[in-house]
Amino acid sequence: MPTFRDPLADAAEASEALRGLAHASRVFDDPADTYTVFGDLVAGVRSLRQVLDQLAATHLNARDRAFDDNGNAAAGAASALAAADELHQAGTLLDRAYDRLDAAFSHSGRIAWHPEPVIDREAARERLAARLGGDPTITTVQAGTLTLTVWPDAPVGEHQRYAYRITDTTTGQTVEGRDLFTGAGTPVDPRHALRDLATFLSAAGQARQYALDQSGSSPEHEGLFPVWVAEAARTNTDALAELSEHDHSEPEQAVGRRWLNVAFLQGEEADAVRDLIDRDGAEAAIAHLSGYDYGEETTQAALENGYVYDDQPPTGSADRTVQDGRYALTYNHGLGHVGLYREFDTPPDPALHEAEQPASAVVHEQPHHAPVPAREASAARRSALGADRDWYASPASAPTGSPRGLSL
């Protein structure tokens, strides 16, 4: 509950509430409910605008108390004035966002939402059976003390939706959801959905462990599931990891093939490609990223920098792989990276092979862009990926950065 007097406590609660809203608003059972959420958001943005003004005023009014780390009052006052100016700029941008949000609120208020069409479950079952090549039965596996069950639910546009049930056999507690989605156009495959569910549970378990190790912290993914689920996931880490790595739906790679890295993207560039995957499919992303392939130049850069891999491209346990012709695309929605690899049929050079790292050692150490000059390769790996960072640390509490983890 808000205190209306303690800005620290109320700011923390507001942050937590927004995290909860981001999680809960992924699926609306009744689209008419969005109008109510709109109203609360409009009021929230108006309040946030006031907060920015008050933060700026505090920096201005108290600038005579501002010093830098060396005790320099002039430098401290200059920083206070600069912070106030940036806050005013942010407030101006927020005014524009408020106008847009208010306009969307108005448009939404003109919609008369009709009830969801009644679905012929038997017909849907027959269609699913045709896509699966058999009966679409409920799929259940055991991961330690957790029983995980998934089954296909009504699709949402081009995205296949799955419902799931998680049961802790030691306590009998059960939770259900229907917010597990595939990429656009992905075939129905409950086994793949089970793998994704296990991956998300692993993320929640690791966040729970971090919260226990770092008292008072608030890891980013501790709200993925109820606390008892996160605790059960923490105690079944190995079983969940084994399940998340097991996926028969991935294309089988022939032994003896070699692959070279064409491109490895993170950040906004990777976000754009993953949006392309969701919208148009993995083949469209492969066609797009193949523009990074400069033929022999890319091949030589990969050989010089050691980005050549035996048997199959390097992947993490939560990565998805799609092969199209001589290219293989790997991507991870949770960790936010995309990679493209080309099949390389030149016989291995023993001298080069000795200089290469094994694929298992570079799963999280891939080049940020391709081709990468040899003199920059080592620095690029370290600066672009930060292999030693904790993917599940809380952005608010971790002292070394703002890592991110998986999200549903």
Per-residue pLDDT of the chain (408 residues; tens, 9 = 90+): 888 889 999 898 998 888 888 878 877 888 889 999 989 999 999 999 999 999 999 999 999 999 999 999 999 999 999 999 999 999 999 999 999 998 998 898 899 988 876 656 556 555 555 554 444 557 888 888 899 988 888 777 767 788 888 999 888 898 888 888 766 666 777 888 888 888 888 888 888 888 888 877 776 666 778 889 989 998 998 888 887 765 444 444 444 568 888 988 888 888 888 888 888 888 888 989 888 888 888 888 888 777 888 777 877 656 788 888 788 888 887 677 888 998 876 544 444 444 444 433 333 334 433 333 333 333 333 333 333 333 333 333 333 333 333 334
One domain for residues 287 and 355: yes
Residues 140 and 241 in one domain: yes
Domain boundary among the residues 245, 279, 300 is at: 245
H/E run at residue 23: helix 7-24
263 with 376, same domain? yes
Q: Are both 304 and 237 inside the same structural domain?
A: no
**406 domain-assigned:** no
Q: Tell me, yes or no, whether 288 lies in a domain.
A: yes
Q: Give the rounded distance of the alpha carbon of 26 from its chain centre.
A: 14
Partners of 332 in beta bridges: 337
Say yes or no: 374 and 301 in one domain. yes
Is 263 found in the same domain as 233? no
How many domains does the chain contain in total? 3
For residue 341, the enclosing domain spans 258-385
Do 46 and 73 fall into the same domain? yes
Q: Which helix (H) or strand (E) holds 12?
A: helix 7-24
- Sequence-distant (6+) residues with CB within 8 A of 75 are 67, 68
- Does 263 lie in the same domain as 241? no
**Residue type at position 77:** A
Q: Is residue 45 in a domain?
A: yes
Do 142 and 198 belong together in one domain? yes
- Do residue 138 and residue 167 come from a single domain? yes
Question: Is 23 a domain residue?
Answer: no
In-domain check, residue 68: yes
Report the distance separating Cα 215 and Cα 176, nearest Å. 29
Evaluate whether residue 97 is within a structural domain.
Answer: yes
- Residue 59 has a CB neighbour count (10 Å cut-off) of 20
Of 44, 77, 108, at which residue does a domain stop? 108
Q: How far is CA 317 from CA 45, 170, 195, 363, 378, in A?
A: 39, 27, 10, 10, 24
The answer to whether residues 329 and 379 belong to one domain is yes
Residue 79 maps to a domain:
yes
Q: Which residue, 58, 75, 108, sits at the end of a domain?
A: 108
Q: Which residues contact 95 (CB under 8 A, 6 or more apart)?
A: 49
Tell me how far CA of residue 9 lies from CA of 12, 45, 87, 131, 398, in angstroms.
5, 19, 21, 51, 19
Residue 162 lies in a domain: yes
Sequence length of the chain is: 408
263 and 379, same domain (yes or no): yes
